[in-house]
């Protein structure tokens, strides 16, 4: 009979170094498939990653390459060589300034500026956050996506967490899945929001405009809590708390409420009503007025709860100052 997981010996390592992991299979786990064994013995790694390593020939039983469905009976010697997939290590390091507000051996907390693309892709193979991370911490070449576990749009500013080891990355991804990572954003939206909202409607790819996301029955669950910070004539500063992390979630949900983000030309529906004193100020803002200002998570190694915040970037701060000044002109 299999022992409860908490009673199993701890065969994990404190980091994701290239050293081989070697251990004997406990007899109480005999009869299970290899991938099931590894999930129990190395819980800090995801099942899909462990299966990928087996298929790459990075796992051996008694010195011979193993297969995912191979059964193990107890006392066999397992050898695992943890490493990132080669296809995920093609980006080149670049000396890009990073605003790092916290760093230790496991994580980085970065305040991403407006205009910085997070991950290389079509049309953006250089000059991304990932390139800068590889320069700042070369060891990140061994971690998929250089440790990036969530993203911000190019024109969204604010806080991001980056894992510096495979173990930390897996732990953070699991926190994301468990919704224990808390993220709050400040957004300036069109119109005067009448009350607080919890928006719980699914988001998926737009059926005809593939660059956009949309509220759709076939989409994935998406929940955003919207709280009013301050109302202005023709616009409102809101605080958005994410329970889920869908692409463009806040932008889509605020558009769904008929309060699209100021500056967000992708999700604005028609001409927005605006008092004359505010019109030029709001229309000319060049990007979506969205800033990730708070981030809370459990440290992937110590388990300690950590909270971070960062002030609004200069462009949003100046926008609010101009709105405040113009408010006096509204009769």
Q: How far apart are CA 9 and CA 23, in angstroms?
A: 10
pTM (two decimals) = 0.74
Q: Is 153 a catalytic residue?
A: yes
Report the relative pairing of strands 290-298 and 157-163 from DSSP bridges.
Answer: parallel
145 and 88 Cβ atoms separated by less than 8 Å: yes
Report CA-CA distances (Å) from 330 to 59, 199, 279, 326: 70, 31, 11, 7
Query: Picking from 1-5, 57-61, 82-86, 230-234, which range would have the lowest pLDDT averaged per residue?
Result: 1-5
Alpha carbon distance 150, 169 (integer Å)? 10
Per-residue pLDDT at 45 = 78
The Cβ of residue 211 has, within 10 Å, a number of other Cβ atoms equal to 8
Report d(CA 161, CA 295) in Å as an integer.
8
From CA 146, how far away is CA 88, in angstroms rounded? 8
- Tell me the DSSP string of 200-252: E--EEE-SS-TTSEEE-TTSB--EEEEEEEEEETTEEEEEEEESS--TTHHHH
Element (H, E) at 276: helix 276-283
Encode pLDDT of 42-84 as tens digits: 876 778 888 888 888 888 888 788 888 899 998 988 888 776 5
* Out of 149-153, 163-167, 209-213, least confident range: 209-213
Q: Is pLDDT above 50 for 13?
A: no
d(CA 72, CA 98): 47
pLDDT given for residue 158 in this prediction:
98
Contact in structure between 251 and 187 (CB atoms under 8 Å)? no
Res 156 pLDDT > 50 = yes
Residues pairing with 197 in the sheet:
226
Q: Write the DSSP string, 127-154.
A: SSHHHHHHHH-GGGGGSGGGGB-S---T
Give me the pLDDT at residue 44, please.
67
Whether pLDDT at 328 is above 60: yes
- Residue 18's CB: how many other CB atoms inside 10 A? 8
Mind listing the pLDDT tens digit for each residue in 259-289? Answer: 999 999 889 988 898 999 899 999 999 999 9
How buried is residue 329: exposed, middle or buried, by Cβ count under 10 Å (0-12/13-18/19+)?
exposed
Residues 6 or more apart from 18 whose CB is under 8 A from it?
81, 82, 83, 142
Q: Taking residues 77-96, what's their average pLDDT?
A: 72
Pick 131 or 88 by higher pLDDT.
131
CA angle 297, 155, 315 (to 5 degrees): 95
β-pairing, 32-33 vs 71-72, is antiparallel
Does residue 221 register a pLDDT over 90? yes
Name residue, tokens 């997981």.
5
The confidence band for 130, taking pLDDT boundaries of 50, 70 and 90, is very high
Residue 1 confidence (pLDDT) above 80: no
Site of tokens 């049309």? 123
Q: What is the mean pLDDT of residues 149-167?
A: 94
Instruction: Please give the mean pLDDT across all residues of the chain.
Output: 87
pLDDT of residue 136: 97
The catalytic residue among 153, 155, 196, 309 is: 153
Give the integer Cα–Cα distance in Å for 295 and 245. 13
pLDDT value at position 90? Answer: 64
Confidence (pLDDT) at 5: 31
Show the beta-strand stretches assigned E in 11-73: 21-24, 32-33, 59-61, 64-65, 71-72
Determine what percent of the chain is predicted with pLDDT higher than 90.
58
Q: What percent of the chain has pLDDT over 70?
A: 89
- Using CA atoms, how far residue 80 sits from 23, 203, 299, 322, in Å, is 9, 39, 26, 59
């Amino acid at each position: 009979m299999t022992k409860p997981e908490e009673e199993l010996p701890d065969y994990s390592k404190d980091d994701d170094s290239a050293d081989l992991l070697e251990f004997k299979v406990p007899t109480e786990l005999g009869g299970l498939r290899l991938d099931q064994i590894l999930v129990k013995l190395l819980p800090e790694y995801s099942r899909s990653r462990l299966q990928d390593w087996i298929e790459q020939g990075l796992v051996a039983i008694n010195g011979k390459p193993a297969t995912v469905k191979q059964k193990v009976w107890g006392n066999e010697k397992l050898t695992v060589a943890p490493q990132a997939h080669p296809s995920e290590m093609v980006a080149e390091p670049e000396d890009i300034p990073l605003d790092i507000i916290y760093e230790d051996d496991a994580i980085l907390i970065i305040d991403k500026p407006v205009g910085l693309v997070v991950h290389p892709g079509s049309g953006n193979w250089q000059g991304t956050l990932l390139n800068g991370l590889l320069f700042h911490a070369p060891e990140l070449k061994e971690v998929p996506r250089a440790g990036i576990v969530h993203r911000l749009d190019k024109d969204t500013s604010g806080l991001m967490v980056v894992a510096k080891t495979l173990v930390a990355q897996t732990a953070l991804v699991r926190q994301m899945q468990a919704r224990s990572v808390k993220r709050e954003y400040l957004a300036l939206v069109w119109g005067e929001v009448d009350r607080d909202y919890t928006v719980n409607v699914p988001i998926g790819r737009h059926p005809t405009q593939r660059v956009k996301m949309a509220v759709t029955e076939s989409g994935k669950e998406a929940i955003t809590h919207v709280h009013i910070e301050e109302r202005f004539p023709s616009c409102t500063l809101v605080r958005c708390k994410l329970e889920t992390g869908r692409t463009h979630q806040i932008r889509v949900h605020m558009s769904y409420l008929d309060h699209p983000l100021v500056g967000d030309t992708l999700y604005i529906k028609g001409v927005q009503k605006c008092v004359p004193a505010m019109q030029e100020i709001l229309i000319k803002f060049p990007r979506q007025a969205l800033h990730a200002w708070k981030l809370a998570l459990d440290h992937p190694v110590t388990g300690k709860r950590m909270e971070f915040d960062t002030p609004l970037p200069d462009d949003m701060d100046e926008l609010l100052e101009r709105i405040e000044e113009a408010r006096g002109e509204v009769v």
